[in-house]
Each structure stands twice: as C-alpha cells, then as structure tokens.
Amino acid sequence: MNRLVMILGIAGIFSISQISAAENLKVKVTNPLNESRGCETISLDMKALSGFNKVKPAVYSDTLKKFIPSQLIDNDDDDVFDELVFQADFKANQSQMFNIVEANAANQVQPEYGAVANYIPQRKDDFAWENDKIAFRMYGQELQRTELISSGIDVWVKKVEKPVMQDLYDKGHDYYHSDNPLGIDFFTVGTTLGCGGLGVWQDGKLQLSLNYYDWEIVANGPIRTVFDLCYKPWQMGDVKVSEVKRITLDKGSNFNRIESKFYADVNNVTFAVGIVKCERNGNVTCSKDSSWLSYWQNPDPNFGIIGCAVILPVKSGGYQSAEDEKNYFILTKAKNNSVIYYAGAGWNKTAGFESEEKWTAFVERTAKLIENPLQIQIQK
C-alpha cells in the first residue's frame, strides 16, 4: 500500500474513533432561508455544553467528515469560557450535524488566516483590526493630542487574505497610502462618522465623542476578534455620558457587529449611525424601512471605489434616514442604554463588489441574513 494513503487512512480512522470513544454532544444547525449562505459563524453557549466546562472541545463536521477550526471566547474576563464558535457553509434550507468532543493533539484545527486586532502605539495610539476580507482602524489619544479629534471608523482595503496591517504600519504612512501588494488606505474619515461611527443628533446638529482613551482585547481570533474601546464622558443631549464600544469581526465577513453601551439613562437620546460623504461625492441607497444605508463612493483615480454600509436590527424599527453637511446616517434610539448595529465596507477590486449594484445587493442580503440567523439544536 502507498505509505501516504496508509497514513491518511489511519488518520481518518482515528478521527472517527475519537468521536465514538469520547463522550460527545451532537449539534444540529439549520439554515432557515431558501438560499445558500457561506462562512456562517455558529455560536454555542458553553452553559449548554454540559461536560465541557473543564475540558477543551473540538468540533467534527458530519458533512465534511473532518474536524474543523473552532474558538473559545471568554466575553466577560472572568476566566470562564462563555462561547464556542466555528464556521460552516450552508446550502438553501440545509441542516448540518456537528459533533462536539474532547480536544486532543490530533483534532485541533486552525484556519490559515483569520480575524485579528492590534493596538498600534507607534502610530499615535491607533487601534486596528482586520480579517481575510477587509481592515479597519480607529483613532486614539496621541492623535487627538497632536492632530485630529475623530471617533469615525477608517477603512483599509486588502489585496491578500493574510493579516497585513502590522506590516503596513512598519513600512510607514507613505507606503500604506500608495499602491502596494498588501493593502491601501485611501478612505478619508476626518471629523466625521467614517464607515459606521456613532453620534448624537440634537437640534439638527451632530454631536460626536472624542477619540477613544482605553482599549481591551476580549478575543483575538482565529475565527472571531472582539475588543472594547472606551470613551470619556461626552455630550449626549443634555448630559455627558461615558461609552464602551464593543466591536466584533468574524473571519470571512465584511461587517462588524458594534454595540455601544452607555453608563446612564440615554433611552430618550436620538443617536445617529452613519457614513461619511466622500469628497468626490457618491451614491446613497436607503432601505424602505430605513434599517440599512449603503453608500458607493465615486472612484479614486488611482485606487478604485469603496462601498460602505450600516445595518440596524429590523425588529427595533422606528428608524429615520437623515444627513448633514458631512454624513449620511440613520436615526435610532437606544434600548437598555445600548445601540447595536452593523457596519462594513467593500472594495470594487474585490470579486463580487465590482459595481454599485453588486455592493447594494450584498448589503441587502447581509441585512436579511442578520434577521434570519441559523437555528441551533443541541442534542445529547
């Protein structure tokens, strides 16, 4: 027998025997939509995975007949894992089975590239994060002290799937603002919302926070990066309130999940979530219920076009679209003193985003997927 075939055969037998030998749980995951969805993140509450509070789990896909990458996340920094996340592709209305077993040296799988976040003190306290699709950053205290007050979100486009931001920062400002093999920063934020910033709308004026002053990385890949950015009290209507912004980005996604949590009663404050107007102008599209807003910039002559979007949960409702001199945005109210939304971007030189029509359709479809999450059943 060919030696390689024999080794692979033994590995396959070992993987299946690992499932049968270990106490395991079966998880049924169903796509409720009559359309396919790729690179979907499945999140399991560790409290529902009895027996795995003291041992590390591994995930076996019945569909792929192999172990797949997974990640444990401690969301509240109490040294106890709260979530197990992994990813899969689904066909229309498809159900898949996954086995959760005790991890060992043979069944641990990591994706080649994933999501990652980094504090960048050498670039005036930038906080940068990225995955295999897209990259973002926000501005810190040293930039506020020396150059710019802005809580808007910046976008960097990427030419490769691997992490690039640390390398680009090392090569310097002129390099990442030029056409290079890794990624380019040609999105202009300034004193605006950027791509998915948040402000307060009062008396026809937009009030914004200062730059973030502190940060904490909660989870750092490979499947999901989660981090908090803290803001000193800033004007929200008639009061000053502190804010913690939790941002989550998954591998394979162009959209961040953002939750801004406020430490006072702000449920009557009107918040604005939105997108900067490009200095070259562009086209804006808003859904009929104003639950999402898409913006397609006019082309940069050297680098192309960036599309941006913000999506708010349909079930919260009651949204209005609005604009000022520098931004388009959606008006919303906080719920339990938090505002939850999604913000993301795409580049026209990325497959699938070649035109405004494709980008807008992608935004609309992403909103639909958010409103129709995967259905999960855990079976002993």
Report the share of the chain in percent with pLDDT over 90.
87
Q: Are 163 and 183 in contact (CB under 8 A)?
A: no
93/31 Cα distance (integer angstroms)? 5
The pLDDT of 261-275, averaged and rounded, is 96
DSSP secondary structure code for residue 152 in this structure:
P
Mind listing the pLDDT tens digit for each residue in 108-156?
898 889 999 999 999 999 999 999 999 999 999 999 999 999 999 999 9
Identify the pLDDT of residue 185: 98
114/44 Cα distance (integer angstroms)? 19
In 3D space, the residue among 258, 363, 247 whose CA is nearest the CA of residue 307 turns out to be 363
The pLDDT of 173-191, averaged and rounded, is 97
Instruction: For the chain, give the mean pLDDT.
Output: 93
Identify the pLDDT of residue 19: 41
Identify the pLDDT of residue 53: 80
Identify the pLDDT of residue 179: 96
The pLDDT of 190-194, averaged and rounded, is 98
Mind listing the pLDDT tens digit for each residue in 76-120?
999 999 999 999 999 999 999 999 999 998 898 988 899 999 999
Query: Would you state the structure tokens that stand for residue 203, as one six-digit string?
Result: 């008396």
Identify the pLDDT of residue 379: 87
Q: pTM score, two decimals?
A: 0.93
Cross-strand bridge partners of residue 58: 101
Identify the pLDDT of residue 21: 38
Identify the pLDDT of residue 70: 97
Mind listing the pLDDT tens digit for each residue in 2-51?
433 333 343 443 344 444 334 689 999 999 999 999 999 999 999 999 88
The pLDDT of 305-318, averaged and rounded, is 95
What are the structural domain ranges in the chain?
Answer: 3-110, 116-371
AA identity, residue 137: R
Cα distances from 136 to residues 109, 235, 376, in angstroms, run: 27, 25, 31
275/311 Cα distance (integer angstroms)? 11
**What are the backbone dihedrals phi and psi of residue 263, each rounded to the nearest 5 degrees, phi first?**
-105, 55
Which CATH code fits 3-110? 2.60.40.1180
The pLDDT of 298-324, averaged and rounded, is 96
134/115 Cα distance (integer angstroms)? 10
Using the structure block, give the residue that is written with the tokens 């808003």.
286
The pLDDT of 183-198, averaged and rounded, is 98
272/103 Cα distance (integer angstroms)? 45
Identify the pLDDT of residue 51: 82
Q: Say which CATH architecture domain 116-371 belongs to.
A: Distorted Sandwich (2.70)
The pLDDT of 279-292, averaged and rounded, is 97
Identify the pLDDT of residue 23: 64
Q: How many CA atoms lie within 13 A of 6 on its CB side?
A: 3
